[in-house]
Amino acid sequence: MGDKIANAAQIQSISEKAFTKYLKMLKIDKDIKKFEKLDVEHKQLQSKVYQVYEEVRRSLSIETYHHSTPSVYQSSSAGDMVAGFRFLCSKTAAKQETETPEGQLIKELETKKRAAVDELHGINELNGLKSTVNNILKGADVPLLGE
């Protein structure tokens, strides 16, 4: 048993000394060095991108394990990271919809449209319908009934 252990240690020593020559013989020594460098850079980028993803996700109060939330981990592929950020972008846009002038205008117009439709569906007689609908639409920058 002692000979096997001594032999294994000797094989390991020879292998370590010959490793650089072995890679050169296979003509991949430069590729291995480049791969090691890129692997370190890749892991750093994954970590940075994931940290940003997590901060934004938490700031939007999005649950990690909800069925509609993309699965994004520190070891995720670029495609999964992009899918995750697309999801966050959509959630951010939806949250900020009413915080921009355009979003406020859209919300206001949607409210006026809903009120006009409700009024149209709720009136059994046509008396006063035109003026009621025009009052609702007033200021919405749309053509008024009868004009």
* Successive 10-residue mean pLDDT values, the chain, 147 residues: 77 86 95 96 95 93 83 92 92 75 74 76 62 80 69
- pTM tops 0.75: no
Structure tokens at 123: 């009136």
Residue 112: Cβ within 10 Å count: 17
pLDDT at residue 26, rounded to an integer: 96
pLDDT at residue 129, rounded to an integer: 72
DSSP 46-64: HHHHHHHHHHHHHHTT--T
Per-residue pLDDT tens over the stretch 2-22: 677 778 888 888 888 899 999
pLDDT at residue 99, rounded to an integer: 67
**How many residues are there in the chain?**
147
Alpha-carbon distance 63 to 68, whole Å? 9
